[in-house]
Each structure stands twice: as C-alpha cells, then as structure tokens.
Amino acid sequence: MELFYHRSGQGSPLVILHGLFGTWENLGATVKSLSEHWDVIAPDLRNHGRSPHAEDCSYAAMAEDVLELLNRLNIEHFSILGHSMGGKVAMELALTQPTRTDNLIVVDIAPVQYPHHHDKIFKGLRNVQLSQINSRSEADKALQSEIDELSIRSFLLKNLVRSEDAGFSWRMNLDALEKNYSQIAQAISVGQYTGPTLFIKGALSNYLIAEYQDEVVKRFPKAQVRVIDQAGHWPHAEKPQIFIKLVERFLGA
C-alpha cells in the first residue's frame, strides 16, 4: 500500500504519524518546526487522508505500510514520533524494526488495550447525512447532537471534502474504522524496544495514566516520561513551544 506523504527539511530522517481521524496536516505546525533540523516524512496512515483504504486496521498492517514507504524512499535508519493511534503505530514499528529505529517518541498513548471511547464520535459522524447537507455548517450542526466541543468538531470536519460531481464525502474510511475499531483499541504486539524512548503526556489527559506505567517500562525499558502542564490529549497543539523543545532536546537538535 503506497501511503500519501509530505516530506520537508533536511538532516536525519524523522517520521511523524498522526492519530485517529487525522491526517499529517493536523501535525503541520510540528512538521514545519522540526523540519528546521530533520528530514521529516509525515504520511497519511491507511484509511486516513489521501492514503488508500483497506479493511485491515491492525497496527501490524499500519506499521508495515510505513516501513514500505521508508524502504521506497531508501531510508534505512530513522527516528519516529507518533501521536495517539500514530503513537501505537510508532511503537509497533520500533518493536518490529529495532535495529532501524534510532529514537522513539510517543505522544499521549500507552501500549495497552483501551476501552471503546469513540462511540459518540462515530455516532455524530453517522448523523451527518452526506447526501442531504449543502454546507459545512450543516454538517457541524449534525455533529453537535453528539459532540459538544467545537475543537473536536472542527478537527473531524477537516475530513469532509466536496466535489462538484459527487457532493460531500468523508476522506477517511469511516466504514472500516468503525467496523474494525476493536483493532485500533487493542494493545500493540509483544516484544521490547531498548532504544532511546520518550513518552510525552498531557497533564490533563487520561490516556497515559499511572496504572499503565509498568507496561510502558516493561516494553520500553529506556523510556523517559515528560508531562506538559495545562495540556490535554493534543499537547503538540495546546503547548507547541514546550512540545517542540522537549522533542528537540531528546533528539539532540
């Protein structure tokens, strides 16, 4: 599967992976900042953005997609940064390709199985009757029945595209993501990565909590954990300057 990707900057390769319902553009500010020191490769993961769709949503499959992209670009060694679902893909890739992964950065996610907590988002997305809406504001109104937060609705609506021939559609593969959500919620593969690892947590987020610490250390024995105060699940967007400084310090800009 040939992933769509954005590439910018120069230096050592750094792969940046977005989270569920996202695209590389959601990390655009991070990509721009880190491109000052690194050769940044930011793909859209399968079933997201401009990348191909597929039924399989497993982390093994998503990590293999990224590996195929790196092979196609003749990149042998790389650092990798992933947020949320992208963080799990990054962990999967580091575990399966430890000799090629120079550094691992995981943003606000643990290597564990999570309960299903996107049901309201899926329900809200299904409330958007694509064949009947005439504007993005109508789509936003349909989402409001399930999703109160404007920031989350705005994030989701970045997936809404319009063509002259077919009207509105979701760029993401909503059917596959909803049908196979159990794969997205699952833990990553067994194994251990002993390379340099940084976990970044938003202090207000409940994704990377104390009860997951033992699993993190067992799988990533060299893990450092840094907490960004007054940030939630999107610390790269909520506290970008602090986030970039942590990443640059870890990677040795």
Residues known to be catalytic:
84, 233
Q: How far is CA 223 from CA 4, 91, 143, 236, in A?
A: 30, 12, 38, 19
**Any idea what DSSP says for residue 92?**
H
Quote the tokens at residue 171.
């760029």
Helix boundaries (H) for 58-112: 59-72, 85-96
Task: Identify the sign of the CA torsion 160, 35, 206, 223.
Answer: positive
Quote the tokens at residue 176.
């596959």
Q: Among candidates 92, 110, 108, which has minimal Cα distance to 45?
A: 92
**How much is the CA Rg of the chain, to the nearest whole Å?**
18
Q: Which amino acid is at 127?
A: N
Helix axes 119-127, 150-157, angle to 10 degrees: 60
β-strand pairing of 13-17 with 5-8: unpaired
Alpha-carbon distance 46 to 53, whole Å? Answer: 6
